[in-house]
Chain A
């Protein structure tokens, strides 16, 4: 719950923004009062749809709480899911996801790796990580070139923004947990375009 003064300011600003955009067609634009923390991390929100409702920024040090997936058996395959820290690459912020196993049997050859890039975004409701890019592909275990997914988003400028990555690995033709593994948050000099 926002403090009363902040809530009053938010409503006032919200009306002003609504008035400014009243001639726009209703679309996928994210309303300024959308509670970002309730957005599904597996749903990509276009940066353009966020632009009018707030700003990307750096997160306070105490903001991030690591979330991990549940402990659920997955047939005979014992595996790990992994994600690297978001980093600059060719004018983009890039993050990779992959899977690893020490098992000599019980695992499929390929697994589907869903990789997500999240940026810290604030609107009048508050601040949260929102998913701005994703990737899904079937890869062999191990990571490295050709064995990992890659989600990336271009930079508008070099402002310092907080990012984190997330990964969900689905064993092909086997039941497995659906939880995400998150990277720590990192600062990258890349304001999302």
Chain B
């Protein structure tokens, strides 16, 4: 889920907060990660953001770092571990077969015009 961080954003700067959930029983959302996000500043023009760029940045902040040397290099291993930490026993291969959806808040969609 991607929302606009209103405490930071202005006409030149936009800050996005990204959280990652596991949906269980078709309705319950278990928070796996928050505190993720990014900030972008228009240096010499309008922000001029579009949803494709925002989507790309959401994926970039969610994916493990390219030089991550742990088992977490695989996002499914990482998410499986986070799920187990929260009492949900699900394997990386099971997670890989589930749909992965991005949700954007209304603020984000408005920012893209």
Contacts and interface: CB of A to CB of B under 8 A. Distances in A.
Interface of A: 66, 68-69, 71-74, 77-85, 87, 89-91, 94, 96, 100, 102, 142-146, 148, 150, 169, 176-177, 179, 181-184, 186-188
12 contacts: A78-B42, A78-B45, A80-B43, A82-B39, A84-B36, A85-B37, A85-B39, A87-B61, A146-B66, A183-B15, A183-B39, A184-B39
A100 to B, nearest CB: 6
B41 interface: yes
B4 to A, nearest CB: 12
Given A71-B12, A71-B44, A85 B35 contact: yes
B69 interface: yes
Interface string B1-43: 0000101101011010000000000000000000111111111
Given A84-B38, A181-B13, A90 B43 contact: no
A68 B44 contact: no
A162 B35 CA distance: 12
Given A83-B39, A177-B43, A184-B39, A144 B70 contact: no
B38 A82 contact: yes
A69 B44 CA distance: 10
A179 to B, nearest CB: 8
Interface in B54-113: 56-57, 59-61, 64-70, 72
A44 to B, nearest CB: 19
Given A66-B8, A144-B56, A83 B38 contact: yes
